[in-house]
Amino acid sequence: MSQLARRLGLFDATMIVMGGIIGSGIFINPYIVARHLRTPALILGAWALGGWVALSGGFIWAELAARRPLLGGQYAYLREAYHPSVAFIYGWTLLVVIQTGGMAAVAVTFARYFLDVTHLEVADGIIAILVLAFLTIVNCLGVRAGSTAQNVLMSMKIAAIAGIVVCGIVFTGRPHPVATAELPPLRSWDLLKAAGAALTPIAFSYGGWQTSSFMSAELRDPRRDLTRGLLIGVMGVVILYLSMNFVYIRVLGPDGLAATTTPASTAMQAAIGSRGANLTAIIIAVSTLGFLSQGMLTAPRVYFAMAEDGLFFRSVAFVSKRTQVPVVAISLQGVLAMIIALSGRYEQILNYVISSDFIFFGLTASTLFVFRRRARSDEKVGYLVPGHPWTTGLFIAASALIVIGTVYSHPKESLVGWMILASGIPVYLYWRHWGQKVKA
């Protein structure tokens, strides 16, 4: 039986949702979108479409949270709907590449921006290790300590993004037109390919809301707070992202946005001068630190749930009596992220998981059909996805299209990613056999 403490509320859930989505992507990825879609209407439309996909996912996860407020969230949905092996493969892929590789990459990103601001003569790998170690320790002190750190950093992140938006609107001398009906001279197939290529970085910029479900066992009222937190958090991020892209286009124009690989810094320099670069570096450092904090808070709960199910080292299910958090699972996440950060292989690892990640998005969304079919006629859920089954089906289709597009663009990386995913099958069979022997 879980010994985790239920100490988090609606505000914590909302900050966890937003913190899991907003990392460094919105400060960098918009230039990739602008290179494929060359007009303001198409650029903003693509980000709005990505927001719709994210919001659709938020609706689905909200109902899943209301129906199954279980330890491990997405891991538990897959286990309950399909089979423990499916859930294990998800948790295995999360630990080996998705979460750990992502945290390593973000830690190094934080280190680089931190060094840009401080001008310290230290290797970025050392800074990455120190920040990962610090966040590991903070989260081992208790869920309240980890969540408070996340809340503070997320609040700073929202304020920083709002500051960029205000500067872009108020201080831009000669803004570029945003409202224009002009479309590029592309055939429909060319436009479709361009939109597909643009939606991949958008989809990943919006990804991450699902990690909030990992915290179900530590929310005071997961049915109410996680459901509402998902909807409020995702809608909040959509508003922030559209506002940021509006400012990028207003300050730089579509061509200027496509010409820079650092849109946030370039836009701030154009709006407020040389101070913009340093200010942007600080903002991105805070944003990446908040993303790391959220990852260290949420993902270890999946490994804890795996151990509780007898599918991982039993010690990973250890809960400190004093802090009531899974300190071994948290430490495992931190140490693996540090190793990958030092190895310098994180960018390659991230390329491997692009297609795998959205397989699990679509698969988890499909569990809603299973749970609805199994539900009793008198069961009260408290929240239902609007437009189901059509909206749920469209989200699954969108996830499939992103996987197809990624495989088309990066076939080798996708194949390696699927091999890593498939490696979870023999590992699962080993743990099931070994776990049964231990119980016997």
- CA–CA gap between residue 277 and residue 116 (Å, rounded): 10
- Output the pLDDT for position 338: 92
Which amino acid type is present at position 415? L
- CA-nearest of 31, 33, 38, 51 to 398 is 51
Flag whether pLDDT at 200 surpasses 50. Answer: yes
| pLDDT tens string 348-391 | 666 677 678 889 999 999 999 999 999 887 778 878 899 999 99
- CA–CA gap between residue 303 and residue 298 (Å, rounded): 10
- CA–CA gap between residue 359 and residue 420 (Å, rounded): 13
Give the 3-state secondary structure of 178-219: CCCCCCCCCCHHHHHHHHHHHHHHHHHHHCCHHHHHHHHHHE
- Output the pLDDT for position 350: 63
| pLDDT tens string 316-346 | 999 988 888 899 999 999 999 999 888 876 6
Contact 154, 295 (CB under 8 A): no
In eight-state DSSP terms, residue 55 is: H
Q: What is the mean pLDDT of the chain?
A: 86
Give me the mean pLDDT over the 167-196 stretch.
68
- Output the pLDDT for position 390: 94
Lowest-pLDDT range of 5-9, 90-94, 107-111, 189-193: 189-193
Tokens of 334: 């931190």
- Output the pLDDT for position 38: 78
Per cent of the chain over pLDDT 90 is 37
| pLDDT tens string 265-315 | 888 988 888 888 888 888 888 888 988 999 998 999 999 999 999 899 889
Query: b/e string for 356-379 if b means 16 or more Cβ within 10 A?
Result: bbbbbbbbbbbbbeebbeeeeeee
- CA-nearest of 56, 57, 81 to 68 is 81
CA atoms within 13 A of residue 338's CA, in its CB half-sphere? 16
CA atoms within 13 A of residue 427's CA, in its CB half-sphere? 20
- Output the pLDDT for position 440: 42
Going along the chain from its start, the domains and CATH numbers come out as 10-374+393-439 (1.20.1740.10)
Helix 346-374 × helix 40-67 angle, to 10°: 50
Neighbouring C-beta atoms of residue 187, cutoff 10 Å: 8
